[in-house]
Structure 1
Amino acid sequence: MPRKASKGSVQIKTSNGRLQLVFSYQGKRRYISLGFDDTVQNRKLAELKARQIELDILSGNFDSTLLKYKPQPTEDTTGFTPVLTPTKASQPLLSELWDKYTEFKRPSLSPSTLAKDFSKVSRCIDLRLPTRSLDKSVAIRDWLVANKTPNAVKRYLTQFSACCDWATKSQLISHNPFKGMAADIKIPKGDIEETDINPFSLEERDRIIEAFKQNRYYKFYAPLIEFLFMTGCRPSEAVALQWQHIAEDLSTIRFEQAVVVSEGGLVCKKGLKTQKKRSFPVNRQLTVLLTAIKPEKMGSDTKVFPSPEGTWIDVHNLTNRGWRSVLSKLDGIEYRKLYQTRHTFITAALETAITMPDGRIKMLDAKDVAKLVGTSPKMIYEHYAGKSKELFVPEF
């Protein structure tokens, strides 16, 4: 049985019948595959290696390349017979490659990508997969297919393949065992948030807004919910708004940043999902809302929609608590994700006629709506316009 190690010490584990050392150094998890079979004699050698690493860390002599601790062939007194060398060249585990690949990519990745995407892959490898052996890539794929959604399976296999492509170019492995696997996974339509379109009716929208205003526990968030429905912006864009982004006369809103999850928590980053920034004209309804919530005293960095503690609102937490709780009490309204506020605005904007100052009646086209919400006309045409408007044959 593996020894029980105190925090910070080196643990001895078994992977596919071979001994492995696992420990953390400077916040990074390290793996050393010894290549030895799990026998009593080899475990004693592993214990010696573990003690050596612990002592080197304590004394400041740790070899970060790990070469000092990897098994070296030893010879008997004749000088010819190697002792306790692995029966075949040991191959790095997927977990080891992923750690190295993450460090290689770290300088070019955003904090949110590291915290959400890369950390999620790391947890799956360390805690979920039935094996981390590259020789078992098909078994890994089959386990993912059996236990994850198609969208998640495709994401994981894509990441594994990218990691192994890098490892092949870095001469850490001879070939990529996951190559081409992701392409075989088909994603059902509507499985992606941007295209999972099931908007609320305007009557449902108004009931939800009113329910938040009347809710004892979540009425604090009512202005944010109303704002999402009235602008169609992404929730991450709304919670990142500061009063410096709203014109002094409340005529326009400038979206140019978003709140995302990072390794250290919520952070605000410049830029939006598909563009650097966009301007949004404020109508009468929005003017009333913004006037009602505008504080008397504020700085340029004052948040438009702060959390009760004055920090950034955690959209994920709001969705799982407030949004889900309020909607569960509304009879006749099917539960849908918070992101459907965006789809509701886009659909309504395409279907609602506008009376111009000169009395003309105008309908917004896909290009107009795309500009308002920060997406492409192609996206609007493919996922909204074709479904939202009733077809008819005009009389010539």
Structure 2
Amino acid sequence: MSHVAICIEEAGKYLRLRWLYKGERYSLSDRFTINRKGRKRAQVASIQIENDILANNFDETLERYRTVRSKVKHKKNQKASKIYDVWSAHLEQRKKRVKASTFHKQIKPIDNYLLCFKSMAITNAPILINQINRDKPPYTAKRIFTQLSAAFEWGIKVGLCDENPFNGLAASIKLSKSKKGKDIDPFTIDERNRITRHFYAKKPDYAPLR
């Protein structure tokens, strides 16, 4: 993969990173102060992003590259009971940091789909996983699982939930080069079974009783 040039620039009171990847423009603002310490933090983040892109392990949500977490007010010991509760809370935070065009193109369609399962409990995550596998082709399902996993990782950090039932699911979906970026060909039965087995192996408590 070709080298990705990441620009460090001043934006108001802070520095920010800007770069182009797969035709999409990204920017990262993490309260990088305009001084030696802040510039060093920005350089460290840019190196991590470059290495992840070269390793084909880039986090499109950018959560991996943040060290300053958003302060979200939640009542003490208050936990979300529904999948959409975690997703929507994370969405509100992301809307503040993502370009409007990127949000409406990449994230809003996923939100519209998940609205159909607004009342689904977190304990019923396997049902949603199976439904996504049935409804969506592999490339789209991989994107949805990536976004859901990022939402729940964030939820764990802010105390909304205790675990991430979508962890590792996106990585278990292997796409051939010819299919990357194309919403074609639904999952085969074998592919659905492999994804389901991967989920139950990581979360045996969710496995159906035999």
Between Structure 1 and Structure 2, the one with more helix by share is 2
Tell me the TM-score range normalised by the shorter chain. 0.3 to 0.5
Select the structure with the greater relative contact order (CA < 8 A; seq sep ≥ 6).
2
Q: Under a length normalisation based on structure 2, what TM-score does the superposition of the two structures give?
A: 0.46
Q: Under a length normalisation based on structure 1, what TM-score does the superposition of the two structures give?
A: 0.25
Radius of gyration: which is bigger? 1
